[in-house]
Structure 1
Amino acid sequence: MTAIPAPPPPGARRPGIPLGRLAGAPVHLQPSALLFAGLVALAYRPVVAAGHTTAAAYLIALVFVVLLFASVLLHELGHALVARRYGIGVRGITLELLGGYTELDRPAPRPGVDLAVAAAGPLVSLTLGGAGAALAAAVPGDGIVNTLLTQLAVSNLVVGLFNSLPGLPLDGGRVLAAAVWRFTGDRGRGVVAAGWVGRGVALVTAVTALLLFQLGFQSLFGLAFALLLVVTLWQGAGAAVRAVRGARAAAPGLAALAAPLAGVPAGTPLARAQDQLAASPRPDAVLAVLDPQDRVVAVVDDAAAAAVPPAHRGEVDVATVARALSTVPALPVTAAVADLREILESNPAALYLVTSGEDVCGVLRAAVLTDWLESQRK
């Protein structure tokens, strides 16, 4: 089992069975997870059948399934707790057919935050796998307890390692996307790159599963599960790539013209912030001020920053030449040219946030927007 499904868009949560709350987040169970639990119990029963009645073997298999779902829940809790550490709210955790997903209330503000949230899940699974292996080694003999601990150790290690592969929708794919975002300054480029790698991971998984089946190392049930996993991987990777391309196709000029945000903590001297920006991969980015939870709270006004004499920029807090995010007008990335002209005329400003839902895609300077709108008249 692996926690790979991509969460649905905000507000489109699929219905499920409520299981209560964990660390303040609602937990739901999809009906498909119950089907999978039954299949796993059927496949696991032969492992513990020797020396037990049929009823006892099924009971032990059911205990294994419950522990397996608890492991997946802890995996998702790892994502949720790290997200909250950076001030990102958690809408809920859902367990479903092939694992689970954690739905956050907004995207990560910086690549480093996205990477930390993504890496938390596999780290939890690998830790559980290591702990299970240590406990299995400490339990003498090959009884039921030892068998359960060994199987849980193996399953968590497989989940942790497989989820670390660098392709979406796996957690490792989110890590790769964050790394590309960090080095290019373009979140969408990172998602597209990780999506294509994810398709490669799906193909390699399919070939490997078929080869293991042909060699007799995998059962028919294992092959069916692997191919279902392949389909899920392929669909998730494709959905990620299409989402980015769709957003850019809706307003190609805006997507191309928007400058990314370069976040610095509040209290950073203006001179240091400008030096960091000049040395970054995207020196055209707009400086943003981050609060202690790494949330963007303001963007630097170019004119206000330029008005500070160079000799004094080492003493001026970058926040003093910034505008609160709530005061910066927003331009939806899907806005039509006519709508953009209306917004520019009715709400003139030096900077505009380019948004896609709750995500801030970048910042557009008024002069750049004006020139681009003029080009659309030709």
Structure 2
Amino acid sequence: MSQDPTRTRRSEGIPLGRIGGVPVTLAWSWFVIAAVIVFLFGPRVAAAVPGLGTASAYAVALGYALLLLFSVLVHELAHALTAKAWNWPTPRIVLTLWGGHTQFGDVRATPGKSLVVALAGPAANFLLALAGLGLLVFLDPGTVGRLLADIFVWANLLVAIFNVLPGLPLDGGRIVETIVWKATGSQDRGTLAAGWAGRIIAAALVAAIVIPPFLQGRTPDFSLLLITALVSGFLWMGAGASITNARMRLRLPAVSAAALMEPAVQVPAGTPVTDVRQAAAAAGPGTALVLTAPTGQPEAIVDPGALSAVPEHLAPQTPAHAVARALAPGAYIPDAANGQELVAYLSKLEGSEYAVINREGTVVGLLRQETVVAAITGRTPRRRP
């Protein structure tokens, strides 16, 4: 059953419209980090601008959260518009709890183009920081405007510098990916290396915040520790997702219907149970029996338990389809199907079992969805009784 994409986007967040033709969504999770920023920075604003008042200080802290949101939006737009210059499909930008991300459709990237698209975001933040520096000369020290401008400059510098660190999901991870990609000829191996680099950066970030105070006998600053936990958690999960996806794509070439199928033989659907039992005995243990229509099209799979449950005196009058479970319409695939082609084809079919046919249209095997998923993910499929 297909889902309404408009309803899905609304469930993810608030649609903000289109910028440069790219839909932008503000995820509900962004409000979580905005609340954290207001809670942590409100008291600091009050200390930096005496006489401002508690309510006004928290309002200024909210303004900081909004400036950070604007900076992230410009960052993601730089990615999106650079990609559009090469006609990459760019479905949307999502501004999330962790900052944001730009979703791309299927593209045929090259190492150079992938790197340029990735680094366009940090470059945009460097330009915003320069613009903020130019604004500082017009603002008096100790004012709210000067405070927000200072925060804007430092935030963009930090976002830019942090994003060029060489590990996924950061933009700088594309540097590692590109180097390995060029060396091995495999983008997926590059992604795998950049994902592990991202996990190293996440662990190093935590160590840099926790270890020095510990060695000095101090307690790490709570606010800094909380932000580090959020950022490091984001990095670790994003890097893990990159590693998992790269491993799955690397396994795809070895995923083929012929290699993963169970042996099977075809039996006409009108065959009596007596003859089906003989066919099962001749085929041997572990061989599935697939029933075919008069046209030769696979339409059902004999259930061994139901087959053995039919009393001997009723077997000659009981048709094979009475002891079989139906296949979904069109649930058969050629034995030559493999890789991305196989996965894309199965994604369009209903059901979880598929007959495998050879060039002559004869059933030669039975493929189960769980077997394909296990081959792609590296997990062991469930044992069937």
Instruction: Report the TM range for the smaller structure's normalisation.
Output: 0.5 to 0.7
Question: Which residue number corresponds to residue 196 of structure 2?
Answer: 196
Contact 2:43 2:58 in 1 (8 A): no
User: Does 2:342 match 1:335?
Assistant: yes
- Equivalent of residue 242 in structure 1, options 232, 244, 254: 244
**1:34-62 Cα deviation digits (max 9, x unpaired):** 11111111222123212212222122222
Question: Which residue number corresponds to residue 155 of structure 2?
Answer: 155
Residues 249 and 331 (structure 1), Cα distance of their counterparts in 2 relative to 1, 3 Å cut: closer
Question: Which residue number corresponds to residue 28 of structure 2?
Answer: 31
Contact 2:92 2:102 in 1 (8 A): yes
Contact 2:180 2:189 in 1 (8 A): yes
The one-letter code sitting in structure 1 at the alignment partner of 2:71 is S
Question: Which residue number corresponds to residue 92 of structure 1?
Answer: 92
In the TM superposition, residue 121 of structure 1 has moved relative to its aligned partner by: 0.5
In the TM superposition, residue 190 of structure 1 has moved relative to its aligned partner by: 0.6
Residues 253 and 17 (structure 1), Cα distance of their counterparts in 2 relative to 1, 3 Å cut: closer
Residues 343 and 54 (structure 1), Cα distance of their counterparts in 2 relative to 1, 3 Å cut: farther
Residues 342 and 244 (structure 1), Cα distance of their counterparts in 2 relative to 1, 3 Å cut: farther
Residues 66 and 156 (structure 1), Cα distance of their counterparts in 2 relative to 1, 3 Å cut: same
Question: Which residue number corresponds to residue 126 of structure 1?
Answer: 126
In the TM superposition, residue 217 of structure 1 has moved relative to its aligned partner by: 9.4
Question: Which residue number corresponds to residue 362 of structure 1?
Answer: none
Alpha-carbon distance between aligned partners in 2 of 1:174 and 1:330, rounded to the nearest angstrom: 32
**1:351-378 Cα deviation digits (max 9, x unpaired):** xxxxxxxxxxxxxxxxxxxxxxxxxxxx
In the TM superposition, residue 205 of structure 1 has moved relative to its aligned partner by: 0.6
**1:193-238 Cα deviation digits (max 9, x unpaired):** 1111111101101101214665669631221121121122111112
Contact 1:250 1:334 in 2 (8 A): no
Contact 2:27 2:94 in 1 (8 A): yes
Question: Which residue number corresponds to residue 291 of structure 1?
Answer: none
The one-letter code sitting in structure 1 at the alignment partner of 2:223 is F
Q: Structure 1: which 4+ aligned runs deviate by more than 6 Å?
A: 11-14, 341-346
Alpha-carbon distance between aligned partners in 2 of 1:143 and 1:227, rounded to the nearest angstrom: 32
Structure 1: runs of 5+ lacking an equivalent: 1-10, 255-328, 347-378
Alpha-carbon distance between aligned partners in 1 of 2:219 and 2:150, rounded to the nearest angstrom: 19
- Could you tell which deviates more after superposition, 198-207 or 226-235? 226-235
- Structure 2 SS opposite 1:177: helix
Contact 1:130 1:157 in 2 (8 A): no
Task: Please tell me the root mean square deviation across aligned C-alpha atoms, in Å.
Answer: 3.0
Larger Rg belongs to: 2
**1:225-263 Cα deviation digits (max 9, x unpaired):** 211211221111122112121233344378xxxxxxxxx
Question: Which residue number corresponds to residue 81 of structure 2?
Answer: 81
Residues 27 and 218 (structure 1), Cα distance of their counterparts in 2 relative to 1, 3 Å cut: farther
TM (norm. structure 2) is 0.61
Contact 1:247 1:334 in 2 (8 A): no
Structure 2: runs of 5+ lacking an equivalent: 1-6, 257-335, 344-353, 362-385
Higher relative CO (Cα under 8 Å, sequence separation at least 6) belongs to 1
Residues 130 and 335 (structure 1), Cα distance of their counterparts in 2 relative to 1, 3 Å cut: same
User: Does 2:120 match 1:115?
Assistant: no
